[in-house]
Structure 1
């Protein structure tokens, strides 16, 4: 397909960028119908689609998805060819929804790049699902000449549905919280219902973050299944202790939510204490690990309050620092690196959610 590009007319380019996320509070207790507080962060996945109209016969629809840095092909799609890849199923769904037919002559080249580590509990799959879905949809709209009719609201609606298709292929039964936070940005609360349809996702447009943040990756692959099984074992063998821990995490999370949603009442020192207590409860629940505890010890030497974020058993630690604190980034990074960990400094609340940029021969538009 790459050899055909020179025979095709370039129509335009569309870019989609989506943020990752951290769970501030509520890991594991959220499974038992307690609230979780989730924040979009300034680590992003980007998908860029270049759209070509093919001039030669026979007409067809071709899509190639590849990694921008390595050039590795993720998916190569042509209608009628057997392809069991998850991305191919998403492409087929979007093509049908947009009423593309084989008589169309279109090539979409989609480049993917990401700052979000995979499997670290930072919402990498949801950000990927949204960025890819958005790029494919925008590419088709460019080909059809509909880009001037696009609105942010209509795009959010379409892309949310498409991303959910891919997320279900990846995770079987996702909660929807990762797609919601990556799509909208900012902060939200999530409360699990008795059925997925009853899940409550509440955006918090007035929430603010007065603390600086860092992320540290253990570089240890998480096994969420094993971690969840360990929690369930505790539930079955020590029911009273388990229920007490879950209740404490749930109550603590409600207090943390208040701290973020009522900025004028935010007490930074109290919030830092709650962050540390949150991690202690998660450790008691059995979801920490040696690597996470080592990171916490290192961060503590630099005066940084921290907790695991996500399922635990690996993944990432999120650290919180007051605006007044001065942390020697070089010294911190050196010590973490010596222990095999990776530091992401300058982590911030990302308000924008999914963003778009569309360029044609005539104009550039941003949504």
Structure 2
């Protein structure tokens, strides 16, 4: 038996400006962050044409310390058509197929504390069998992204998995390199993004497609009324990302903003218009070729401050978010929530001239509140593949 192995990684994402208002027609700006989910696939290729009845597909989720394995013959029993999909033609998983795959997942009795990952395991089985068919393999997933915190962990998982699976298929051409991580070409990125979106649909029902697109292509994306535009940044942005660890109900928060709009139509329409202007100016500053980075940083800080004030107007802030804002303000740093609000994560802009000593003090104080802190560069590479021992 020979082994074929590939590794892939895909970044998480943040919303820099425009969350919630985007639902009401305003522009928003999202960016990849230099924090990744990685997938390693070791394909077990039979030398003989006979199929070993003990061939197994194994999924290892390192961050939750769980392992799943299914005999290939069992997958064929439950999903008899699993090898008939064409990897170059992404397909939607039907509700009937989701029920069938759920049977395979339920056989593993996921602990109650980890029950939220069940939809991710279903997405894994759909993507794997659709792209690779009934091949035995060991798939290992590890992530630097906190789960369920609004940083796009599920999209990074789906993108990274789709990229690795496609790299082992005949549907894409990837330049083999021993130099480390390599990017897909645009055509291959488009294909990986479409498959990842199908995985996201299994996990989230009706995702916007923004998270997987940012994770696949990297850098920044401006989006408005369903149209996505890739943005190339001309400035280095560094953020402190604080995970408040406060869970939130995104649907309830979105509904709350809509209800507030219904009660105060003119005022809320003005709020959404202001957010639209902020998002567009944010994108303009980031793309600007001006050499005055200090001035650009000051404008970014002001826009973040204004955006946060408008998010408070929408009613989506939270005491944990306000704690982060007050703490960072003591050090003259600007913060805003990112994503749905009501908890989740907060962005703090780190100016290029800020000393490491100050950053350490801020992080220490925030961690004493029970929060988790991550530092990330904004707008880096998207999906990348590695074939030979890169790290």
Tell me, yes or no, whether TM beats 0.5: yes
Work out whether 1:267 is the aligned partner of 2:267: no
CA gap of 1:66–1:226, structure 2 versus 1, over 3 A, is same
List per-residue Cα deviations over 1:241-284 (Å, max 9, x = no partner).
21111111111211111111113176322221111111011011
Q: Which runs of 5 or more residues in structure 1 are unaligned?
A: 1-8, 193-198
Query: In 2, Cα distance between the equivalents of 1:212 and 1:96?
Result: 38
What is aligned with 1:212? 238
Which is worse superposed, 66-75 or 182-191?
Answer: 66-75
Query: In 2, Cα distance between the equivalents of 1:92 and 1:298?
Result: 44
The alpha-carbon deviation at position 74 of structure 1 amounts to 5.2
Contact 2:131-2:165 within 8 A present in 1 as well: no
What is aligned with 2:77? 80
What is aligned with 1:67? 61
Q: Counterparts of 1:29-178 in structure 2 under 5 Å?
A: 29-54=21-46, 58-59=51-52, 62-73=56-67, 76=70, 78-81=75-78, 82-84=100-102, 85=105, 86=119, 87-88=121-122, 91-92=125-126, 95-96=129-130, 100=133, 106-140=135-169, 152-178=185-211
Matched position secondary structure for 1:319 = strand
Q: TM-score, normalised by structure 1?
A: 0.84
What is aligned with 1:293? 322
Query: In 1, Cα distance between the equivalents of 2:322 and 2:5?
Result: 45
Give the RMSD, CA atoms, in angstroms: 2.7
Query: In 2, Cα distance between the equivalents of 1:283 and 1:131?
Result: 35
The alpha-carbon deviation at position 237 of structure 1 amounts to 1.4
Matched position secondary structure for 2:77 = coil
CA gap of 1:270–1:169, structure 2 versus 1, over 3 A, is same
Contact 2:6-2:42 within 8 A present in 1 as well: yes
Work out whether 1:332 is the aligned partner of 2:324: no
Contact 1:256-1:271 within 8 A present in 2 as well: yes
Aligned residues: 339
Query: In 2, Cα distance between the equivalents of 1:212 and 1:119?
Result: 22
Structure ranking higher on relative contact order (CA contacts 8 Å, 6+ apart)? 2
What is aligned with 2:346? 317
The alpha-carbon deviation at position 62 of structure 1 amounts to 4.0
The alpha-carbon deviation at position 94 of structure 1 amounts to 5.2
Which is worse superposed, 311-320 or 166-175?
Answer: 166-175
Contact 2:40-2:141 within 8 A present in 1 as well: yes
Matched position secondary structure for 1:173 = coil
Contact 1:12-1:358 within 8 A present in 2 as well: no
2:5 to 8, 13, 33: 13
Query: In 1, Cα distance between the equivalents of 2:38 and 2:381?
Result: 14
CA gap of 1:92–1:247, structure 2 versus 1, over 3 A, is closer
Query: In 1, Cα distance between the equivalents of 2:328 and 2:199?
Result: 37
CA gap of 1:292–1:108, structure 2 versus 1, over 3 A, is same
Q: Which runs of 5 or more residues in structure 2 are unaligned?
A: 79-99, 106-118, 177-182
Q: TM-score, normalised by structure 2?
A: 0.79
Query: In 2, Cα distance between the equivalents of 1:168 and 1:365?
Result: 31
The alpha-carbon deviation at position 217 of structure 1 amounts to 0.7
Query: In 2, Cα distance between the equivalents of 1:335 and 1:93?
Result: 42
Query: In 2, Cα distance between the equivalents of 1:285 and 1:128?
Result: 31
The alpha-carbon deviation at position 92 of structure 1 amounts to 4.3
Matched position secondary structure for 1:323 = coil
